[in-house]
Amino acid sequence: MSVARLTAAAAVAVTALFVVVPAQAATPPPDSGTVFTGVAPTRVFDSRTTAKIPAHGSRAVAIPTGLVPADATAVVFNLTGTDPDGPTWLATGPGTQGTPTTSSLNLAAGETRANLVTVALGHGDSPGIWVAAGPNAADAIVDVAGYYSPSGGAKYTSLTPQRVLDTRNSAPLGQGGTVTLDLSSKVPAGATSVVFNLTGTDVTGPTFVTAYPDGAARPDASNVNLVPGKNTPNLVTVRVSADRKVALTNAWFSTDVVVDLAGYYSPDSTQAFYPLLPGRVLDTRNADGSPRDPLGSGETRTLNLYPWVPYGATAAVINMTGTDVTGDTVVTVWAHGGAQPGVSNLNLLPGQTSANAAIAPLPPFDQDRGININNLRGSLDAVVDLAGYFAPARPGCTSDCVLATGANDVGQAGDGTTDAGNHTDAKVYGLSGVTAIANTDQNGYALLGDGTAWTWGANDRGQLGISYAGNGEGPLGQHYFTTVPIQIPFLSHIKQIFPGMALTVDGQVLTWGGNESLQLGNGNPDVNYFQTGVGTMLTDVTAISEYRNGSGGVTRYALKSNGTVWSWGDNTRSALGNHDVVGNSASPVQVFGLFGCTGLGARVVLCPPATEGGVQTLWRWGAIGSGQQDSPTQLPLDGITGSIVSVQRDNGPNAGTRAILSDGTVWQWPDNDAFTGAYVGARVAGLSSIKALATGHALATDGTEWAFADLSAPVRTGVAAIGDGSSYVSAN
């Protein structure tokens, strides 16, 4: 079941990428992904001491620095809602404020209920998290159970869900009663925390149950809130004692408790956590714009998570909501392909709307990354929100690492975080041996020496190459994104990469992502986006390039081994370089009159001169000043001595054609919409021994990086590569 109703992502500040060769580290760098550290359940927010969260309003929740370190990427907490003014819901997200796109907890009038929440942490200008209310005001309580960070904690092991305690087979917990959950035979020595679903049943009066390490003092916190007549579950993440035991204490009256073990954290575990902004991945009430499609009595439905979770992931962190319930039922979630376990994840009564979190195991190396959802009886609508996933950690970068500077609202920093602030030189997780990079304002791309391509950031138009985005239920809508690099699955043997485009070593061009300008080049003008690579009907290509104009149009170029140049996509002001083409082109067309070319830039190439003889010269086409050139025109090379070895069009605000000469000097020709003067090139003073150019920047052979805006001193040293090919790629 897929999802529906996406909205366009808001424009954000540019994130710049560069590759550095780090100094020899005294200690090994942390692996990619994040690891868990459990804390004693700690109350950090209780709106009952101030004022309710207003209807359709939100409150910032600060996370104490003494409890959670500054490098934490996500926090795990028990969210309790109470005393609502009417039926409502609570939602959470990173930062100090936000617009809900998913819900974490649903409340009926007068209900008190809890749910375990995992949410990415805000940093920089917007630290912490926020909690928002739905159509009616409610009180909210936040009890922190642990956090994820790059280092210092434990990785996760997912288990087939199994029942490990059921007091209905012995005796209920009375007022103040405690039962000890002995997990020494279920989790290995050294385990630090466990994850289980805790259900209260046969409740005789309003009460709550608290989970904590056996032998420790009972904390001032609750894990599941109970009332008579309802079987209420909640996912629990809790530290274990040294002998792997957990105490469960009931507050008042009596209740039976049922515990279903889902997994554990330990030093020997291998699965790291990758947090995502909560995104809706299933809603049977709308079925992605199709008619309502509820789960019937006894029905098992498979939810494929391949659009949102990468290949090799072992578990998904989800929040499951049941609504429109017609019968007394339970919902069970397990890995597709496995036998249904004798456990429950969600208990529901007719007419009830309720949610519970789950860490759902995924089948190993399954292409669809499927989970099964079973409804026992009656019918119900299922809503599933994805908060992140577990997957094997990649070793930390030791050489040729990618660093990012700039906005990080959709994970552009690639360091496992997302926030409203800017990052400076954030190291992108888990990528070593990077040979080339590219990026847009919302995505980063990296090419490794082994020919694989990796990406991170947003996916509202399929930029990640895995699928279209998750859906955005709610007033704003939000797309799926990843805060750490994932491998683009269909790309291998790559030698050049751009945002949404790659070139293989055998000369094939692959494209993915948006198609607003027909930049996919697959000949189909009716496709709005494509999530996996498609050929552009070009073969035997030796180089690719891309031009993005200020209005969002994308034009792509390819140089073939026979020296011809081809273009497709946006044709605003003759960007295609072929005067016979009117409008954009969904298929590659030949740039008019160019043969024997050996160098490719954006709207500029290195080809033989118009007259016989002479060295390769520069040709350009398209917009210039108030006019345009609809076919290539040779650039004047007055004053140049020596040969040109590389050419690039700077796509920044001071756009110009730039070329590197054989002696390492850089020449520039004015080439922007505001140009009115004489079209004459000049050497860029202050640059020498240059080996690469990108928008606004140049890289010297000694690893110094220079910004054209100020050439008085290098902006960085120890740089191995700078981004190339996007109007947003720079290295500042």
**In terms of domains, do 534 and 448 share one?**
no
Confidence of residue 275 (pLDDT cuts 50, 70, 90): confident
Question: Which of 434, 460, 484 is a domain's end point?
Answer: 484
Tell me the pLDDT tens digit for each residue of 202-231. Answer: 999 999 999 999 999 999 889 999 999 999
Number of C-beta neighbours around residue 561 at 10 A: 11
Same domain for 435 and 421: yes
Assigned domain for 50 exists: no
Phi, psi at 325, each rounded to 5°? -80, 130
270-294: burial string, b at 16+ Cβ within 10 Å, e else = ebbbbbbbbbbbbbbebbeeeeebb
pLDDT of residue 8 exceeding 60, the answer is: no
Q: E strands, 30-138, where?
A: 35-46, 58-61, 74-82, 88-94, 105-107, 113-120, 129-133
Q: Which residue has the higher pLDDT, 148 or 680?
A: 148
Determine the average pLDDT of the residues in 68-81. 92
Residue 205: give its domain's CATH number: 2.60.120
pLDDT at 604 over 80: yes
Other beta carbons within 10 angstroms of residue 453's beta carbon come to: 24
Same domain membership, residue 255 and residue 160: yes
User: pTM of the predicted model, to two decimals?
Assistant: 0.76
Looking at the domain assignment, is residue 290 inside a domain?
Answer: no
Same domain? 500 vs 476: no
Domain membership flag for residue 529: yes
| Nearest to 440, CA basis, from 470, 489, 406 | 406
Is residue 453 located within the same domain as residue 517? Answer: no
Query: Is residue 659 domain-shared with residue 581, that is, in the same domain?
Result: no
Within-domain flag for 57: no
pLDDT single digits (tens) 633-654:
888 888 887 789 988 877 665 5
H helix and E strand count, the chain: 0, 51
Average pLDDT, the chain: 86
Residue at token pair 């926020």: 130
Give CA torsion, residues 503, 507, 512, 518, to 10 deg: 110
- Asked if the structure places residue 24 within a domain, the reply is yes
DSSP letter, residue 413: T
In a domain, 261, yes or no: yes
Q: Which tops the pLDDT comparison, 677 or 33?
A: 33
Stated length of the chain:
732
**Rounded CA gap, 638 and 619, in Å?**
14
- Residue 562, number of CB atoms within 10 A of its CB: 10
Same domain, 451 and 498: no
SS3 (DSSP) at 55: coil
* CB-based contact 34:393 (threshold 8 Å): no
- Written as six digits, the tokens of 536 are 């552009």
Domain limits at 693? 635-732
Whether 445 is in a domain gets the answer yes
Q: What pLDDT does residue 469 have?
A: 46
* Domain final position from 484, 513, 533: 484
Distance in angstroms (rounded) separating the CA atoms of residues 421 and 150: 19
Residues whose CB is less than 8 angstroms from the CB of residue 451 and which lie 6 or more positions away in sequence, other chains included: 492, 493, 494, 495, 505
Lowest mean pLDDT among 10-19, 407-416, 490-499: 10-19
Specify whether 515 is located in the same domain as 447.
no
Query: How many CB atoms are closer than 10 A to CB 563?
Result: 15
Q: Is residue 244 part of a domain?
A: yes
Residues 494 and 471 in one domain: no
The helix/strand/coil state of 156 is: strand
Same domain assignment for residues 496 and 575? yes
Distance CA 393, CA 391 (A): 6
Model pLDDT, residue 4: 23
Neighbours of 523 (CB within 10 A): 16
The answer to whether residues 208 and 254 belong to one domain is: yes
Q: Answer yes or no: do 545 and 583 share one domain.
A: yes
Domain's final residue, options 237, 269, 301: 269
Domain count of the fold of the chain: 4
